[in-house]
Structure 1
Amino acid sequence: MRRLRAGELLGVRVVDRYGREAGSVQDIVVRHEEGVYTVLGLVLGRSALAGRFGYGDSLEPPTPWKHLLGWLRRHERYVKWEDVIAVREDRIEIGVDHGSLPRRWHEAH
């Protein structure tokens, strides 16, 4: 697979192994070790508004916002980078059923 910039992946629609829509790429989960960034997976969904506020899986939102931000993230799914089988100009293809994808990235690692 060729080298990609993160901006090339954001917003791209994702289809599962059956050709069904799984969402679009809203965020990229990476690991940084010794100056090297490694892509672990992709956060899929309809919107990444909650995550862009900084309330992903590692930051707990304040109590009044917890339910609202959880509701905004209800469509999010996570796909491991190793399950990506093709990155095309108009879509990313994954080799798993979108119904089997976990809701949070930490559930997959």
Structure 2
Amino acid sequence: MTRTKLLAKIRQVFPGHDPEDVQRVLDEYAGPERLRVHLAILKLCDEDRRDSPRHYVDSACQDHRDVLAWAESPQQLRPDWFSLSVTERAKVAKADRQQYARWLAR
């Protein structure tokens, strides 16, 4: 994933905003896996129809793994996850990966 793709996603998720303004907010998170976290934040904003990434940037600054899990593995956070069989878990994990890949490809 490149900065060009990130800017394209910013334009897609926030069509009425200046991409550079959104990028400045995203850049407040500068921790591990920066680009991956920025994309996860955009995905969450897209799903929640938020008009700013501020909430998720603040969350990522606390623990970036939360934002990654919410965006990339939402079904694996189900309350019944540990009661699922190994086969069911594999299906859920695959569905999460496919869902995230579809969002990235849009």
TM value normalised by structure 1: 0.28
More helix by share: 2
TM value normalised by structure 2: 0.29
More strand by share: 1
Ranked by relative contact order (alpha carbons within 8 Å, sequence separation 6 or more), the top structure is: 1
